[in-house]
Copies of this chain bind each other. A is one copy, B any other.
Amino acid sequence: MGEQTVQLDGLDARLIALLGTEPRIGVLELSRRLAVARGTVQARLDKLIARGAIKGFGPEVVPAAIGFGVTSFVTLEIRQRYGHDAVAGHLADIPEVLEAHTITGSGDILCRIVARANADLQRVIDQIVGYEGIVRAHTIIALAELIPYRTAPLVQSSYNAK
């Protein structure tokens, strides 16, 4: 359940866009801005959440703002017989690992790491490769954020107009 895909329409898209710009807004205010009935907004929101299109409204913590100014992408090569899951478990224990994916191509896992500074990044990477299931790590440091993570344009482009 929830793993299906949802086809958005214009109202859904406007709703998400509006919530994106003014997140703490209420359902009533949303209905006013969108010029629809309050119940409609409630129903749409419920549906989007129920179907998994919207995961949640969690506070978006900015790592850089709480002292983790260095972002890096690390490609890991793993010892196959250990399996991805075991390695994933190891990575999950390290708070600085913000996400991890298995990937195609050279390297087996790509993960996003943050650290307080370059020297601190070294510590984190040492911690990662300290696990015997990991053979090697290739580190790429992010210098500047050209496009911060966003989904708004995607939402806008993804609905088929009524």
Which A residues fall within an 8 A CB radius of B?
2-8, 16, 19-20, 23-24, 48, 51-69, 71, 73, 84, 87-88, 91-92, 94-105, 107, 109-112, 114, 140-151, 153-158
Residue with the greatest number of chain B CB neighbours at <10 A, chosen from A57, A68, A73, A110: A57
* Chain A binding surface, main DSSP class: mixed
Our pick among B5, B59, B147 for the contact of A54 (Cβ within 8 Å) is B59
Our pick among B4, B63, B91, B157 for the contact of A146 (Cβ within 8 Å) is B91
Residue with the greatest number of chain B CB neighbours at <10 A, chosen from A71, A147, A150: A147
Residues of chain B with a CB closer than 8 A to A112's CB: 149
Residues of chain B with a CB closer than 8 A to A66's CB: 5-8, 53, 154-155, 158
